Amino acid sequence: MAQPRHIPVLRDEVVQWLAVRKGQIVVDGTLGGGGHTRALAQSVGTEGLVIALDRDPAAIARAEQDLAGMPVKLVQASYRELSEVLGEAGVQQVDGLVLDLGISSDQLADTQRGFSFDSPGLLDLRFDPDCGRPAWQLLDKLPEKELANLIYRYGEERYSRRIARRIVQRRGEGSLRTACELAELVRGCVPRARRQGIDPATRTFQALRIAVNEELQHLQQGLQVFPDCLRPGGRTVVISFHSLEDRLVKHAFRDDPRYEALTKKPIRPTAEEVERNPRARSAKLRAAARTTTGSGMGDP
């Protein structure tokens, strides 16, 4: 059986905070490379079930091989559609749910979709290639001010205006089409003294990916849907990599009476895990339990 290339972030902590037991039904809302799904399937055993969702058809196709023979049901869908997915599966409520937000190593390894900075393929960045507009079209169409605001808001990039200006100037020379072209342009806009150990293109690519996939909207809607999909006492665990994502999770767990926050502060990866898997360096895990009372969102 082929092993996924992706290394799951905070895998043991996910299993611990979900308090998974044999025979339970749990959901992995972000299948990705399948690492968390595999760990959860091993925890629930053959008498249990993991329902694994992903918007990316390539992730579903890989998992059909990688997780064959395990108690896993694969569904191509967004986690915000969880109510419909459970209804179609004949499941009323589940015992736990995990989200690992962001992209997987398998997506970075795909040279045709633009997730990797050095990719020669089209700058697409969509999780589901059949939905929405690819990132290169945003670069072609958005006015300079809107583009700068997008890069600043979603990427927290202090040089967003400079980058947006250069992108618009580039339109007159020929449209940006590939990831490697955009990465080269952004690197030329960020002073070397400000690069802080990460590729200068990181924040711009992150911003475009979040915008193209409407990631914050999916997260906000999902956080509202999840409690009604969980049995009382069931748990939700979310791993975020971006301050805007973490803020949405923190506020939902604090303000929605259907949630009881279990983590006062986010759980962070150990130094050993970060050394083993650098992708984990910015990860934050928060957990909450479904309360026995509460039927709607509290005041913000």
Q: What is the pLDDT of residues 108-133, one digit of tens each?
A: 777 788 988 888 889 999 999 999 99
Domain residue spans in the chain?
A: 11-106+215-290, 112-213
The pLDDT value recorded for residue 300 is 29
Lowest mean per-residue pLDDT among 171-175, 204-208, 279-283: 171-175
Tokens of 223: 């956080």
Helix pair 215-229, 202-213: axis angle to 10 deg: 60
Predicted confidence (pLDDT) at residue 298 exceeds the cutoff of 50: no
Q: Look up residue 66 and give its amino acid.
A: D
pLDDT at position 1, please? 35
Q: What is the pLDDT of residue 42?
A: 97
Q: What's the helix, strand, coil split of the chain in %, to 5?
A: 45, 15, 40
Q: Is the pLDDT of residue 231 over 50?
A: yes
For the domain covering 11-106+215-290, report its CATH number: 3.40.50.150
One fold for both 11-106+215-290 and 112-213? Answer: no
pTM for this prediction: 0.91
Residue pair 118/180 in contact (Cβ under 8 Å)? The answer is yes
Quick one: fold of 112-213? DNA polymerase; domain 1 (1.10.150)
**Is the CB of residue 103 less than 8 Å from the CB of residue 115?**
yes
- Read off the pLDDT band of 30 (50, 70, 90): very high
The mean predicted confidence, pLDDT, of the chain is 92
pLDDT of residue 31: 96
